[in-house]
C-alpha cells in the first residue's frame, strides 16, 4: 500500500472516530435534555379528620364548601403535564368518585381538586360511634407507567356527635372560627320525625300560624307545653366559647323521650316542633349557649326565647332577678338582651335552619 493510500485511510479513520464521538456526545446531551424535561409534580392530599355523620349529605354537594378531601397538584417541572386524571374512593362507603381530567397543567401552575362523595343513608344510619375509614386518591397522567395512589385515614363521627370546626388551632382567631361548622346544626332539626310531629300537633293543633300574633302564640304555647311536661335543662360547662373538639347533640325525639337536654338540645327541640307547623326558625349561638328563635312573617322580625328557662327549678337555683313564675315573655326579653350584648361584642352567630336545609344540610332519618 502506498504512502498516499495509507494517509487517506488514516484521515477516514479519524473522521469516523470524530463523527462517532460527536454522535455519542449528541445522544448523551439529548438524553439529558429529555430527562431535564420530565414532568415533576407535587401531589398533596388533605382529608378532613372527621365527618359529621348527621350532616353527611353536605359533603357530596359540590356547590358547598364542605368537601371531604382536597388535593393540591403543583407542576414543579419545566414541561407541561398532560391529561392529569384524578379520582377518589372510600372503601366500604363509596366507589371511585369525583373523577376529573385536567388536560394541561403548566410549569409552575397549582391546581386544587376536591372530593365530593355521595354516602348512602343506610350506611350512615349504622354509624352510632366514632368509626375509622380510609380514603384513597388515585391519579395518572401522560408519561407515567401506572397510576399512583395515596391513602389517608379519617373518622365518621357517631350520628349524635358534632365537631365545631375544622380550622387548625393556630388559625383560630374569632368566635366564628371556633364555631365554623355551626350551619350544620340544622341537620339535627328533624321536623318530620314521628315523635316530633305528634308532640307539635298536640301543642298547636297542627295549624300553621298565619301572622305575627299567631307565630308568637305558637312560640309561647310550645314553651309552656314543654315546661308543663316536665322537661329539664341539663347544665354542662361552656363548650362554645372554648376550643372544644366536639359535643354530643340529641335529636328532638331523644330529648322528648329523655325529658331532658342541654341548651343546644332544647334549642333544636324548639326549632323542630315549630318547623313541624311551618314556622321558620333560627338558632343563635353565643359563648357557651344556644337560643332558639322564630321568624315573624308580617314584621320580618326575629323573636328569640330563653328555652332553658322552661326549667323553673334550674332558673331559681342559678339566677337572681327573675320573677317567681319566670314567664315566657320574660324569657323572650332576657334572650333579646343577651343576643344584642354578644352581637355588639362580635361573639354571636345565627343558624338559619330552613336556608341550610335548602343547601342539603338535612339527614334522611
* Long-range pairs, 227-230, Cβ under 8 A, ≥24: 227/310, 227/311, 227/312, 229/259, 230/259
Please work out, in degrees rounded to the nearest 5, the angle formed at the alpha carbon of residue 102 by the alpha carbons of 119 and 69: 30
Q: How far apart are CA 123 and CA 116, in angstroms?
A: 17
The whole model's pTM is what?
0.84
Q: State the pLDDT at residue 1.
A: 54
CA distance 14 to 21: 10
pLDDT score for 230: 96
Residues of the chain where predicted confidence (pLDDT) is lower than 50:
9, 11-12, 14-18, 22, 24-36, 237-244
C-alpha cell at 99: 373523577
Closest CA to 221 of 198, 205, 234: 205
pLDDT digits (tens, 9 = 90+) for 20-76: 554 544 444 444 444 346 789 999 999 999 999 999 999 999 988 899 999 999 999
Instruction: Report the C-alpha dihedral over residues 319, 288, 267, 315, rounded to 10 degrees.
Output: -10
Q: Is the dihedral of CA 262, 123, 69, 282 positive or negative?
A: negative
Beta bridge partners of 162: 247
Closest CA to 133 of 157, 159, 155, 166: 155
Residues in the chain: 365
- C-alpha neighbours within 13 Å on the C-beta side of residue 352: 8
Grid coordinates belonging to 98: 369525583
Q: Is 265 exposed, middle or buried (0-12, 13-18, 19+ CB in 10 A)?
A: buried
CA distance 135 to 149: 10
Amino acid at each position: 500500500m502506498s504512502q498516499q493510500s495509507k494517509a487517506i485511510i488514516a484521515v477516514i479513520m479519524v473522521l469516523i472516530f470524530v463523527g462517532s464521538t460527536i454522535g455519542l456526545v449528541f445522544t448523551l446531551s439529548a438524553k439529558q435534555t429529555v430527562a431535564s424535561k420530565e414532568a415533576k409534580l407535587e401531589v398533596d392530599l388533605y382529608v378532613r379528620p372527621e365527618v359529621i355523620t348527621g350532616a353527611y349529605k353536605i359533603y357530596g354537594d359540590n356547590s358547598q364548601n364542605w368537601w371531604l378531601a382536597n388535593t393540591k397538584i403543583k407542576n414543579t417541572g419545566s414541561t407541561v403535564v398532560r391529561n392529569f386524571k384524578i379520582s377518589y374512593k372510600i372503601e366500604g362507603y363509596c366507589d371511585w368518585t369525583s373523577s376529573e381530567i385536567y388536560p394541561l397543567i403548566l410549569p409552575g401552575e397549582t391546581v386544587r381538586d376536591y372530593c365530593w362523595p355521595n354516602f348512602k343513608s343506610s350506611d350512615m344510619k349504622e354509624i352510632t360511634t366514632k368509626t375509622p375509614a380510609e380514603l384513597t386518591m388515585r391519579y395518572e397522567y401522560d408519561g407515567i407507567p401506572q397510576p399512583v395512589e395515596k391513602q389517608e385515614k379519617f373518622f365518621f363521627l357517631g350520628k349524635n356527635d358534632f365537631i365545631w370546626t375544622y380550622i387548625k388551632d393556630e388559625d383560630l382567631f374569632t368566635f366564628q372560627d371556633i364555631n365554623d361548622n355551626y350551619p350544620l346544626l340544622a341537620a339535627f332539626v328533624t321536623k318530620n320525625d314521628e315523635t316530633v310531629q305528634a308532640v307539635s300537633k298536640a301543642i298547636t293543633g297542627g295549624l300553621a300560624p298565619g301572622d305575627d300574633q299567631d307565630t308568637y302564640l305558637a312560640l309561647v304555647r310550645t314553651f309552656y307545653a314543654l315546661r308543663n311536661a316536665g322537661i329539664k335543662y341539663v347544665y354542662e360547662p361552656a363548650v362554645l366559647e372554648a376550643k372544644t373538639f366536639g359535643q354530643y347533640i340529641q335529636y328532638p325525639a331523644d330529648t322528648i323521650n329523655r325529658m331532658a337536654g342541654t341548651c343546644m338540645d332544647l334549642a333544636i327541640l324548639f326549632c323542630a316542633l315549630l318547623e313541624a307547623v311551618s314556622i321558620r326558625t333560627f338558632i343563635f349561638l353565643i359563648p357557651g349557649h344556644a337560643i332558639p328563635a322564630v321568624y315573624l312573617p308580617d314584621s320580618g322580625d326575629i323573636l328569640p326565647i330563653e328555652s332553658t328557662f322552661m326549667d323553673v327549678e334550674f332558673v331559681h337555683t342559678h339566677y337572681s332577678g327573675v320573677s317567681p313564675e319566670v314567664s315566657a315573655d320574660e324569657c323572650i326579653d332576657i334572650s333579646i338582651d343577651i343576643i344584642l350584648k354578644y352581637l355588639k361584642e362580635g361573639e354571636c352567630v345565627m343558624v338559619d335552619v330552613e336556608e341550610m336545609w335548602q343547601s342539603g344540610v338535612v339527614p334522611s332519618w
